[in-house]
Amino acid sequence: MRHPVFLSVALLGSLGLAACNQPRSNAEVQRAIKSVNVIDESNLSDIMLTVGDPNEAVAYFQKASAENPDRLDLKRGYAKSLIRAGQTAQGVSAWDQVVAHPEASLDDRVSLADALIRANDWTRAEAELNKIPPTHETYERYRLEAMVADSKKNWKKADSFYEIAAGLTTKPAGVLNNWGFSKLSRKEYGAAEKLFTQALTFDPTLFTAKNNLVMARGAQRKYDMPVIEMSQTERAELLYTLGLTAVKQGDINVGKGLLQNAIDTHPQHFEAAVRSLDALES
């Protein structure tokens, strides 16, 4: 990726060469420089929203949008950075301002609904999603629709939306994991197990899906470890989860054995497992 400063130098250099060939008005020069600055800002905005420190991104976009109140892209960046920094309430307010802008898009309203869900305002999130026409078929929209349906225990609609969302992305691990957890909450353990396994085929590093998979298997009294990629630490943590699941099922001796296995497997002292085993022994 080219650094913004190098791009500025290159463009300003070409501007200087052009100036040697023909005279330019001061207004033209200022417009050209401003266009270069916009390119630089765009690159910096992308960096701030991906690899930059979340709180630094908030400060950057807050200052930039205050200096350029008509720039919708900066308002949008400010709203995104607030959500990324975990400042959910402020993020909702920022997305409200974005959506109120005359040039706001349907994706902006989807982002507002996402912020509202994070703020646990499910009623308003559903209302915002209902304002979006059915022709706007995106992964994010249907992922949120599925979550709202889940919250209302409208399982048929939730399953339909989860399936649509999974088909609209090349990286469905997250939504498959969410769908699996929905099945887990309904005590449909076999279906949940299949979805968690499917999620891990797309992202073998997704530990949440690994942990959920172990819980789904344990709920079916499958106490052997699944054949999935895992580090030694992950294996110990999954054994711990499986042990607790066994205890919950009433299989106390099996649970004790799994907890001891977790302690023996962990490369360091596994305090949580030790406490749980001590509690069972006493």
Orientation of helix 72-84 relative to helix 26-50, angle to 10°: 20
Residues 128, 105: Cα–Cα separation, whole Å: 13
Residues 85, 185: Cα–Cα separation, whole Å: 29
Cα 97 to chain centroid, rounded: 22
Residues 115, 95: Cα–Cα separation, whole Å: 8
> How do residues 44-64 score in pLDDT, each as one tens digit?
677 777 767 888 989 988 998
Cα-Cα-Cα-Cα dihedral sign, residues 206, 207, 213, 215: negative
Q: What is the CA radius of gyration of the chain?
A: 26
Q: Which two tokens stand for residue 115?
A: 């912020």
> What is each CA distance from 106 to 133, 138, 141, in whole angstroms?
9, 10, 10
Cβ-proximal residues to 117 (8 Å cutoff; 6+ apart), any chain: 125, 144, 147, 148
Q: Tally Cβ neighbours within 10 Å of residue 153.
A: 11
pLDDT of residue 51: 62
pLDDT of residue 30: 52
Q: Which two tokens stand for residue 44?
A: 């910096």
Cβ-in-10-Å burial (0-12, 13-18, 19+) of 166 comes to buried
Name the nearest CA neighbour of 130 among 110, 147, 150, 111. 110
Residues 214, 224: Cα–Cα separation, whole Å: 9
pLDDT of residue 282: 82
> How do residues 90-136 score in pLDDT, each as one tens digit?
999 999 999 999 999 999 999 999 999 999 999 999 999 999 999 99
pLDDT of residue 206: 97
> How do residues 176-223 score in pLDDT, each as one tens digit?
999 999 999 999 999 999 999 999 999 999 999 999 999 999 999 999
Residues 131, 141: Cα–Cα separation, whole Å: 12
Q: Tally Cβ neighbours within 10 Å of residue 62.
A: 17
Residues 266, 130: Cα–Cα separation, whole Å: 48
* Helix extents (H) in the chain: 4-21, 26-50, 54-67, 72-84, 88-100, 106-118, 122-130, 139-151, 155-167, 173-185, 189-202, 207-219, 232-248, 252-265, 271-281
> What is each CA distance from 72 to 42, 56, 76, 85, 128, in whole angstroms?
12, 20, 6, 20, 20
Residues 148, 146: Cα–Cα separation, whole Å: 5
> How do residues 6-59 score in pLDDT, each as one tens digit?
333 333 344 343 444 444 556 554 554 444 444 455 566 777 777 678 889 899
Give the predicted TM-score (pTM) of the model.
Answer: 0.79
